[in-house]
Structure 1
Amino acid sequence: MSSDSEFVQSDNNFVTARQTMIEEQLRQRDIADPRVLDAIGRVPREYFVSPESQRFAYNDSALPIDCHQTISQPYTVAFMCAAAQLTGTETVLEIGTGSGYGAAVLSHLAREVHTVERIPELAIQATERLQRLGYDNVHVYTDDGTLGLPQAAPFDAIIVTAAAEQLPEPYQEQLNEKGRIIIPLGSDSTGQRMYRFTLRNGKLLEEVLGAFVFVPLIGKFGHRPE
């Protein structure tokens, strides 16, 4: 990790690019929630990618991170956060920490963020990065994300950053009444759709929000590791 002084200098160099991304990539694609736009504007995405990828940090594209994983494109992160309809009082579970960027955005939108990463190396890196940047309301765990996080449940929203063939069973059990699950579902990348499930009176109401492409969700209630 860079020193604090290096972080400040890097941030100053990327502020314009971040604001341009918000105006040209998010607003023009109908991301209108002011809280989501503000949260995206507060998080320095350049700190969540490799040094080699920093010049591309505000392109609207996924980028490689360690352990052969990726950081989602800014639009996808903003879309899922907006779909979760957060007001700032919620406890949120994120599945798939990756570099920690999504959790950092969520930290500005919710009261508490619990995020689960199955790859220990990424979880360690994300923990250190989030702590360095002052995201004190984010808690990182290493585990099978398809199991949810029963020790911290119930949640007001569960956001899943990888695609399963069907909704993992534990998620509904860990959701508060009127809670939302945002998850891509589909058997392959060409057939994936983003879903929002809302729990009302013990039943999940289902909405299809559009087509997306995600890596597979690995775990007991997801895909098997290759």
Structure 2
Amino acid sequence: MDPAVLRDDMVDGLESPPREVIESEAVAEAMRAVPRRLFLPDDRNAYADSDHEVRGSRILAPSTVARLLEALALEPDDDVLVVGVGVGYTAAVCAEIVGETNAHAVDIARPLVFDARENLERAGYGGVLVDCRDGANGLPEYAPFDRILLEAAVAESPRALREQLSPSGRLVYPRLRDARGQRLEVQTAAGERSPRGIVEFDPLLVAGEQTGAVERNRTAREDREFAARRAESRRGWEQEWIEWDAGSRRSNWPSR
């Protein structure tokens, strides 16, 4: 079947019950225009509303992408930053709305950055800037941004991203809510927040946890952090380096 027809069917399904996640014409037209199949290793299910996995990274289902874009509320010529570019599909849809040179993206995983650049070039969006960065630090060289999309869950929005917003900008991100899961949240540059429903995203990674890194185990990092916290909380006899003498505490560490 003609890929354009499949894209139309996909968008029609996202506009209609039971999903009804697309409300704006801009998002609908952009998703009809971007060839999603060029961003997937297997294009047989490219227009099905399902997630995929590439290089250990989750490619969001079209309905999830639509929800993110509706929350972003992009306008033509907005400067937008996508944190967590993945294979580049979301960045391409953003570029379709705001223009290629106004779309920027970063990812901490270098293999994904290379894939995203190739995919965007092949799909006709080679003007999108994609760089390998720690997502929590954003892309300060190109700030401020009218819109920032963080495609990874965090307990609190990274300060650097908030500081890179324009005065009228907005940041869209999945916020962790402890045992209650995650909630999509929109935060303005002024700090105002508004919820946009329940979501489920992978956590924001730090150096050493990205695809292709020597160490990718979040549990190992968390174990080290908890061990450091326990060590700092020890007192008295638990500290092997403390010597009790005449009721006073003296360190055996050499003086500096």
TM bracket, shorter-chain basis: 0.7 to 0.9
Aligned residue type for 1:110: V
Structure 1, unpaired ranges of 5+? 1-11
Q: Does 1:214 align with 2:205?
A: no
Aligned counterparts of 1:30 and 1:47: Cα–Cα separation in 2: 23
Partner of 2:122: 132
Residue 93 of structure 2, aligned match among 77, 95, 105:
105
Partner of 1:69: 57
| Residues 95 and 158, structure 1, Cα contact 8 Å, conserved in 2 | yes
**Aligned sequence identity (%):** 34
Aligned counterparts of 2:126 and 2:23: Cα–Cα separation in 1: 27
Q: Does 1:204 align with 2:194?
A: no
Alignment of 1:55-66 (within 5 A): 55-65=44-54
Alignment of 1:39-188 (within 5 A): 39-51=30-42, 54-65=43-54, 67-111=55-99, 112-186=102-176
Aligned counterparts of 1:101 and 1:59: Cα–Cα separation in 2: 14
Point out 4+ residue stretches in structure 1 off by more than 6 angstroms. none
User: In the TM superposition, what is the alpha-carbon distance from 1:26 to its structure 2 partner?
Assistant: 3.5
Partner of 1:3: none
Aligned residue type for 2:154: A
Aligned counterparts of 1:74 and 1:98: Cα–Cα separation in 2: 14
Aligned residue type for 1:16: V
Q: What is the Cα-based RMSD across aligned positions, in Å?
A: 2.1
Aligned counterparts of 1:137 and 1:38: Cα–Cα separation in 2: 20
Partner of 1:13: 2
| Residues 80 and 182, structure 1, Cα contact 8 Å, conserved in 2 | yes
Aligned counterparts of 1:137 and 1:80: Cα–Cα separation in 2: 22
| Residues 85 and 91, structure 2, Cα contact 8 Å, conserved in 1 | yes
Shift of the 164–24 alpha-carbon distance from structure 1 to 2, 3 Å rule, reads: same
List per-residue Cα deviations over 1:178-205 (Å, max 9, x = no partner): 1010000115685100000112xxx211
Shift of the 35–124 alpha-carbon distance from structure 1 to 2, 3 Å rule, reads: same
Aligned residue type for 1:160: L
Q: Which moved more, 1:150-159 or 1:128-137?
A: 128-137
Partner of 2:23: 32
Instruction: Count how many residue pairs are aligned between Structure 1 and Structure 2.
Output: 208
User: In the TM superposition, what is the alpha-carbon distance from 1:162 to its structure 2 partner?
Assistant: 1.0
Aligned counterparts of 2:57 and 2:126: Cα–Cα separation in 1: 25
| Residues 26 and 75, structure 1, Cα contact 8 Å, conserved in 2 | no
| Residues 160 and 184, structure 1, Cα contact 8 Å, conserved in 2 | yes
| Residues 21 and 63, structure 2, Cα contact 8 Å, conserved in 1 | no
Partner of 1:6: none
User: In the TM superposition, what is the alpha-carbon distance from 1:126 to its structure 2 partner?
Assistant: 1.0
3-state SS of 1:109 partner: helix
